[in-house]
A and B are shown apart, each in its own frame.
Chain A
Amino acid sequence: MTVATDTAPTRTTPPVFLRAVEGKTLPILIVLGVILLIWYAFTVYLNAPWQIDAYERAGTEWTAADLVRDTMAQERPVLPSPHQVVAEIWKTTVGTRLTSKRNLFYHAWVTLSSTLLGFVIGTALGVLLAVGIVHNRAMDKSVMPWVIASQTIPILAVAPMIIVVLNAIGLSGLLPKALISTYLSFFPVVVGMVKGFRSPEAFQLDLMRTYNASGTQTFWKLRWPAALPYLFTSMKVAVAISLVGAIVGELPTGAVSGLGARLLAGSYYGQTVQIWSALFMAAALAAILVGVVGIGQRMVMARMGEKP
């Protein structure tokens, strides 16, 4: 940008093209273009056998141009083309009433609400466990192995149990699903915050000791602020896997709404276009969530005087 303004001082804004070349826009567009090209190529290649079969059964004459056109317009393609997915997303978001059960935003909201609840509980649990681990020798020795072991169990196996067990004690609805997100998201927070709470140097702890500071004072004035950068980094990971947890939580539980339910219904009925649009919605949701945590991080770090 500076180069463009330097060479053309009379122009107030540099041309869009130049800005795109100098910024990140052009590289991103190129990568996106390449991905789309590959995707289209595979659409034709993967859907062609079924299409040729169909032509032969119907006895129609066909050309290469027909094949390319028809492989991109199948109702249940092996791989839907990008524009089919975009059209489906458009139809099920903007083209449908927001309150309708067929609106993708509605399903996204269902998943998002359990993601957020699970993320908040998971982060709180993670911070509390980390506080315990840092301040208590017994917890340091005993809790960490369990925390790690908890993550070696596949979530797909745990998810139905959690739903069933919680149902048996009368808990249903949002909370059981959210707890599956919690199960995944507390882990990066524990690991990050243990490291964060231990990041002050020995002499900084000695300094607090020379002031005869209490444990609580040392925690709030030294350990907590020192750990905040670690908290945000862990929260970025945690929020993304919270979303995974919420989607996985919808799969084995017969949920009728949520992105996971959409994915499952789509695969039951061979609605690949529906699956892909739900996938893209989930990806967009994850990007937004991570982005929001990132903005929060930048605001807090700016207040804490981080070098820009």
Chain B
Amino acid sequence: MNANPAIRQEASSPQTSQPVVEAKGLGLTFETNDGPVRALADVDLTINKGEFVSFIGPSGCGKTTFLRVIADLEQPTAGEIFVNGMTPEEARRNRAYGYVFQAAGLFPWRTIEQNVALPLEIMGYSKAEQKERVHRTLDLVNLAGFEKKFPWQLSGGMQQRASIARALAFDADLLLMDEPFGALDEIVRDHLNEQLLDLWARTGKTIGFVTHSIPEAVYLSTRIIVMSPRPGRVTDVIVSPLPKERPLDIRESPEFLEIAHRVREGLRAGHGDD
């Protein structure tokens, strides 16, 4: 795509040792009417700058909960977690991350450009700056030309791209994505996966990505966190040996299939107790 080579070069040299998210002994227990539910137990994890980390596991394994703890949408009940060296609440107040939900959740009464401008309005950017950023981020997700459209005039995949643009508009270094492509069909999903990798390469963001699709996790990630339920915990961490440049057909290569196999084994082991 229309990648600016200068940006790409800058982005492709991440300072791998700089931690963005650090969790130590993290646990979260929900008090429900049926008694306590341990959503997370003893999670030790560090996400470094520029990494693309996927969380994969069956439902109830706490992968979404972990992402929500990073975003200060849930409060941990044990252990500690730092985002950019701060508590999640401080990080949220500093607008340290952009969050993409499973549903695009664009406001139907706003046009695409107004939707992307929403966080900018809230954060008090000037009109001129808003305009410039909306233009830039819509370009980044290949939605230039759709500024004046309302969400219902766009396909599901385009809506999700607009919601990614909304999360990118204020230039947070960390992008948290909670099954962003889960509701889309496979062809659209492949396409968006390709675009997301391209976007990641161009911007050098740190990405935390929740999914339940093995090929998606393997294709996108530099590191895959395999989780298991009851209580939600990390069972395997796989560092991907795949190169940074990944054409779609890399998914037929032996390396790819080997990682996918290991992820599948990890998921099966986690399921052993039921």
Contacts and interface: CB of A to CB of B under 8 A. Distances in A.
Interface of A: 201, 203-204, 206-213, 217, 221-222, 225-226, 228, 304-307
B122 A307 contact: no
A305 B111 contact: yes
Interface of B: 71-73, 92-93, 95, 97-99, 101-103, 105, 107-111, 118-119, 121-123, 150, 152
B150 A305 contact: yes
A225 B109 contact: yes
A222 B92 CA distance: 19
A210 B107 contact: no
Contacts of A226: 107, 109
21 contacts: A203-B103, A204-B105, A206-B73, A207-B99, A207-B101, A208-B122, A209-B73, A209-B92, A210-B71, A210-B73, A210-B99, A211-B122, A212-B122, A221-B121, A221-B122, A225-B109, A304-B109, A305-B110, A305-B111, A305-B152, A307-B150
A209 B71 CA distance: 9
A221 B115 CA distance: 11
Nearest to B172: A210
Closest 4 CB pairs of A and B: A305-B150, A304-B109, A210-B99, A213-B122
A226 B121 CA distance: 18
A201 B118 contact: no
A203 B150 contact: no
Contacts of B111: 305
A296 to B, nearest CB: 16
A99 B58 CA distance: 78
Nearest to B170: A211
Nearest to B110: A305
Contacts of A207: 99, 101, 105
Contacts of A208: 122
Contacts of B93: 212
Contacts of A209: 72-73, 92
Contacts of A212: 92-93, 95, 122-123
B70 to A, nearest CB: 11
Given A210-B99, A211-B123, A221 B118 contact: yes
